[in-house]
A and B are shown apart, each in its own frame.
Chain A
Amino acid sequence: MNKQQTQTHPHEPRKTGAQTLAGNLAKFIAPLAIVPLFLTGCAANENPSVLSESQSAGSAALQTISGSGASSQTAAQEAWRAGYSGTVNYDPVGSGAGREAFSSGGAAFAGSDVPFKTEDLKSSFANCEGGIVEVPAYISPIAVAYNLEGVQLKLDAESIAKIFTGKITNWNDEALAELNKGTALPDLKITAVHRSDKSGTTGNFTDYLAQAAPKEWSAGEVEEWPADLNGEAAEKTQGVRETLANTKGAIGYLDASQAGDLGVASVKSGDVFVTPTAEASVKTVGGSSLETGRGSADLAVDLNRTSVSGAYPLVMVSYLIGCEQYKDAATGTAVKAYFEHVISESGQKAAAEHAGSAPLQADAALAEKVAKAVEAMK
């Protein structure tokens, strides 16, 4: 190739090098001129006329608002935004960064897998006059999923803890056989898969183990898998899912909606074994008390995963966080309208269909509490 280039020097008379340069460039670039044609058109699904129509038609044109926070809510936020009349941006930067952006005023609202700590509430929030609103908006059951063909597993907290701490290593273990009488469990190595990144899913999973099997699980509630525990690690929900799907005898925890074709274990709750249904999951949230020392619209749930019999204990609660009263009224109106949409029956249903969450309405009392908190927003 290089040898050819040496012969390309322009020896032709009456044609300056600059012309050659420009001419060659033009010939080469000409086909690229088609590209801007594509660029001038907007994306077909982002028809601007539709947007302006909805904005002008409504008596209260809603201001565009931006929120940021938990990536666990990404799919649900997609569904909520699709069904909402105004424009909302949601930036899945992570719960911590989302809360930080909200308190510094960088985001009008936040999505977070954990509520603000009570000591953080003393500091002022840039967008707010006074207190904040925190409502459970996205309740997602976490499934203990496994790759064992034709087996419907039953597990209790102790056996789950033992599997994930490496004390139970084979599917034919006696403890598992005891729980699954009548089911033939294979002689197969157990590959326990956990999340390698920091996640609310891991936080809720370990919180469950710490509450329900304190003897077997000593690491407490941690968002990052304890470094001293071995096991297979995978990145994010999809990493876990991919690993489970590709590995016979693997077991892991992930959003129930993402379990797909994998087996999903029934988990012991009280005296019965419960699958991660919407009703059973919301029951856990409804049966838990609220954290004390907070404002009336600050619904931080102190999840009790052991005392509600028949409730599915492995749930993740993700919050929407906003101001009780916004300094900017237009922002307040828009955020309130969005929150109302999110917690409404249709909003919760949309999230359930698209993201596999459990609708709040499965527990009428809880839904009412949440609606009341949002109602108070200004």
Chain B
Amino acid sequence: MLRWLHKVLALSVIVPLMALVVSGSVLSVMPALDRAGVVSPPADGISVAELAARTAGALPGVEQIKRLPSGKVVAFHAGTDGPAATVVDPSSGEPVSTYAPSAFERWMTNLHRSFFLGDGGRIAAGAAALALLVLTLSGLQMTARRMGGWARLLDRSRGGVMERLHADLGRLATPGLIVSTLTALFLSLTTFGLIPDGRSPPPASPTFPTMAPGGPALPLAEIDALRGIDLSQLRELTFPNPADPTDLFRLTTADGEGCIDPTSGALLAWQDHTLGRQIHEFIYTMHTGRGLWWVGVLLGLSALGVPALGVSGTVLWWRRRRARAPIAANVPARTADTVILVGSEGGSTWGFARTLHAALTAKGHKVHTVAMGRVASSYPAAQRMFLLTATHGDGRAPASAGAFLERLDGIGAPPPFPFAVLGFGDRQFPQFCRFARDVDAALTRRGWTPLLPLETIDRQSPQEFARWGKSLSAVLGEDLVLAHVPERPRTQALTLVERIDYGTEVQAPTCVLRFALPRSSTLARLAGLGWPLFSAGDLLAVVPPGDTLPRYYSLASSTHDGFVEICVRKHPGGLCSGLLHGLRPGDLIEAFVKPNPSFHPAPGRKPVILIGAGTGIGPLAGFIRANRGRRPLHLYFGGRDPESDFLYRREIQGWLDDRRLTSLSTVFSRVSGGGYVQDRLRADAERLRTLIGAGAQVLVCGGREMAAGVKETLDELLVPAGLTPALLKRDGRYLEDVY
């Protein structure tokens, strides 16, 4: 519901909203620009009487003096060529420059508040401000939900680059947008008289006596009513019309307004500003930044986030729309007898959910399928619930499951219907179906009734899925057939341009494969149709011919490098590695990019320790190649024999020479006195402690055993520093890419 509201509202108001926020951002810097040319008043203050006298001396025929919110003092007077306005020095009353309000600013203001369309436009602008407020609040609530509750709202955001950009910008802009939109709504309602601005009706203005006493006017400097008021309090002072002997001074200050008899210098009438007017003025200041330039700048910056949010949001919406075809015959949650919750990272679990959905629907069930992260707090008509979920990384919730475990708290008592969890994963990983197990355990602990024990599906096997369907049929007493045909992922062809072979002599045939970068327009890329932007550490998913299951390889290059590079070790009997090792320049493979945001150096200048063995050097080499800012990078590399499998040997020398790489420490296992990378770390204990103590980040890439060894070694040698890899991991300072 919330997501739907956010999406529909955003897509329908995006165009007027852009005009509103861009013009608002431009206007927001005006108060700061206005500060130029302000002549500061004397330090000990100056009374309005003195200012009036000096200005009248310097500019005979002055009719009005205004103090603008910027602090500028402007005198309106008769010029040689009709009426004139002049900025004056408040100390001397001498003219400083001609005052000419900017036509550009007026044009922008009219665009901003009414789209040049009069009252109809003002209503539209007010409605757009309301829409932006709703978007801000609904976005904030969705972010909180995604992060796992309001208490975690400020945690590091998760997901792909676009998702993080959208969430981070949104959180950053939220305070400013709330202030901007609330004040805009207030001003809009004031314009239409729905909230009083404290100026009208007339009782707020003083009742002017119709006749002044008459007689010779006092010198300006002797007018008592003006002598007691400091310039800082002045808003405007209007001089009596010389042609009208009965006319009076009219004075507006920060506190109120009144009129003064020019012959006696006495205040004839005074009216304090009403509370309503003071509130209105405060809100006006908070919206425009006039008189508080830094408020203007902050609000303007927040508003500038909106176009970026609009673009990233539209891209996310479009990608999601493309990625997930709507599920046929999806019944609303409150009437469904069967609920299917889906936890998917790359989208393949949705395919299985769709098959299950269709099979149950064919049997006459009313089925509701939804992402796990969007689980409702109750399903009144449900008789059973299925949870189909993959696992992300080392046991975490996949993207579409979001904060499912945290949201379970909102469900309360166990529901009357039973559940069944089906996990999807890859047995090669030690945390196989870990998240599915966690979900199953959490539900059992909460007293939910199982319909079937937890089952797992290895590597998207349609056979195992069909087998689970048979167990399900038995429990339901229905003849369900789950015939799943996996969808082949959308790939693009890559052409091999170069390969370098290593390690044949040491029984570790490894090659560095470089493919040409497919050309894609920005538009296609944004729409998710072209080859996306990628950086070292992301994954290249290679789909062998006649297969649907992608194999993932860490990318050793970034878009900026202009090629796609991976490091592949040949495994005996490995289908995909064998295929890749058989490639000759000019040959093609089918592949796509899978972002891997959890394995990238954190931005900043802090040193980074890169630890890799064998092909694990691939993404690390990519990080070094991309290190144009010469951030301190320290590489630890382990191989078998420097003469055979020292991957990237030539390039590494070049990177040391041009300081992209600060230091290199190598270790080889098949040479005399050799060892493993852990041994090299232990020998460097003191240095590593110093680096990590100074805030260095550690990135480890390689085989499972090597990663475990490295962790164990660091565990030991960080004891004196009071740190552990686990603690570093929590702060995002210890990242692993393990295979």
Decide whether A and B are members of one complex.
Answer: no
